[in-house]
A and B are shown apart, each in its own frame.
Chain A
Amino acid sequence: MSVQRLLRAGRGEVAANHQIVQDGSQHDVLNQLAGGLAHDINNFLAVIMGSVEALAEDLAPGSDQQELALTSLRAAERAAALLRGLLAASRPTVSQLETVDCAAMLAEVRPLARQLVRDGIALSLQAPSDTLLCATDRAGLESALLNLIINARDAMPAGGSLSLTAETVSLTGRAAEQLSVAPGAYAAFTVTDTGFGMSPETVRRAMEPFFTTKAQSGGSGLGLSTASAFARQAGGALSIVSAIGGGTQVTLYLRRVTGRIAAAPPPLPQAVAANQNLRS
């Protein structure tokens, strides 16, 4: 991903007639830049460490030359540790991944969702009849979805319709690029409300930590930013489509898996399966 693209993502690009943003805060952009830099530096350090270690093997044990090589090796290790510390301080803790049937999980979330929405709001939850397996953190996903439901509820003080749907989507090409995710199959959890919608500026800033339009009523400004961070940690993304007076649609994408790996290897993803044709 180029620096230019990261910066464009940070500004929150306008797509079609809606404001669509993903991972749009400057903080995210800087984190991604730092991550890219760390990746490259770690690769360089890996080559340096491997080479010096091999060189040290060739030198006479206990010699000055070998000691110099080992000193270089230890210095590279200290640089790597410093880099790890910097990265750990700049990003959230990664959650525990497990294989979760998200279709079944939605059924479990339903009672709590009903409790959260007030009278005057028609709630609809639609999950696929088949299993929808994702490699994710169950508690994190539940929390993210409930945050989205609360946001949708608060956007409709006079009532309206709130729906949560889960489906499998294929993100390829420009769609995957826009969301900064790897092409492939994803579970898409979409929360749609018929509330007052958001201005382009609000959409652009909606995923910034502590940004809120609900300060008077005690909004923390962390719901969407936390959901966005969760999605990214799990290899997915969060997108917002909204327009003033036209309601809001927030979609959380998570990488779908097609089987429990320990029990049976999953079928090849489409892109890989296509590449297998090269064998013949």
Chain B
Amino acid sequence: MENPASPGILIIDDDHSMRQVIALGLERRGYRVRSAESGRAGLRAFDAERPALVITDILMPDIEGIETIMALKAKGGPAAKIIAMSGGGRLVGHDFLKWATHLGADRTLAKPFRLSALLAMVVELIGEADAPKAPGGWRSTAQAQDAGAGSDEGLYGKPHADA
């Protein structure tokens, strides 16, 4: 059950499992969650929904997270809250999270992290969601609102209709 009054959060990560796990943690606490599998799909989603917070991975196909953050800040200005997360560099020596901070990310998290650490950051940035926890069956809920695999089309076509 989604409460339209709850703060919206957009998750951008090319790893489907990662999106699922984060969505689960956030939905259980009453946040409205959308997710996208790439920087490009994430920017489209941001335009469509203007979420209160974006949680984005750094290393992704097509547009990397660094450029995604720059674009989000250009679109949303200081009001666009961003948490950047990264599992490290494909090119050793690049500190992507420092770059993310420099380019405007409000908080950063090195993977792996505890969901509770992420949730604490979310509360700090956009406050608690006052909606009740989502009922059981989180897996189908999280999957239903995810971007279609291999496509950034129809991202929000049926966010919860199938849940």
Contacts and interface: CB of A to CB of B under 8 A. Distances in A.
B70 interface: yes
Nearest to A40: B87
B112 A49 contact: yes
Nearest to B16: A47
Contact of B115 (A54, A94, A266, A278): A54
A87 B44 contact: no
Contacts of A28: 92
A91 B111 CA distance: 18
Contact of A271 (B63, B113, B116): B63
A121 interface: no
Given A39-B59, A43-B15, A278-B40, A271 B88 contact: no
Interface stretch (A163-171, A227-235, A242-250): A227-235
Interface in A115-154: 135
B67 A42 contact: no
Nearest to A47: B17
B122 interface: no
A265 B99 CA distance: 14
A39 B90 contact: yes
A94 B70 contact: no
A105 to B, nearest CB: 17
A45 B111 contact: yes
B77 interface: yes
Contacts of A279: 44, 47
Interface stretch (B2-10, B21-29, B143-151): B21-29
A212 interface: no
B114 A267 contact: no
The interface centre, meaning the residue of A91, A257, A267, A276 with most chain B CB atoms within 10 A of its CB, is A276
Nearest to B136: A58
Contacts of A39: 59, 86-90
A53 B116 contact: yes
Contact of A278 (B24, B44, B64, B68): B44
Interface residues of B, number: 47
A269 B104 CA distance: 14
Contacts of B64: 182
A98 B18 CA distance: 31
B66 interface: yes
A233 B112 contact: no
A90 B113 CA distance: 22
B91 A180 contact: yes
Given A38-B87, A76-B112, A265 B47 contact: no
Contact of B91 (A32, A42, A51): A32
A268 interface: yes
Contacts of B63: 271-272, 275
A19 to B, nearest CB: 22
A74 B25 CA distance: 18
Contact of A51 (B21, B43, B47): B21
Given A35-B88, A54-B24, 7 more contacts: A34-B92, A43-B87, A47-B17, A47-B18, A257-B102, A271-B67, A276-B43
8 contacts: A31-B93, A39-B87, A41-B87, A45-B111, A50-B112, A233-B95, A235-B94, A266-B74
Interface of B: 15, 17-18, 21-22, 24-25, 28, 40, 43-44, 47, 59, 62-64, 66-68, 70-71, 73-74, 77, 85-95, 98-99, 102-104, 110-116
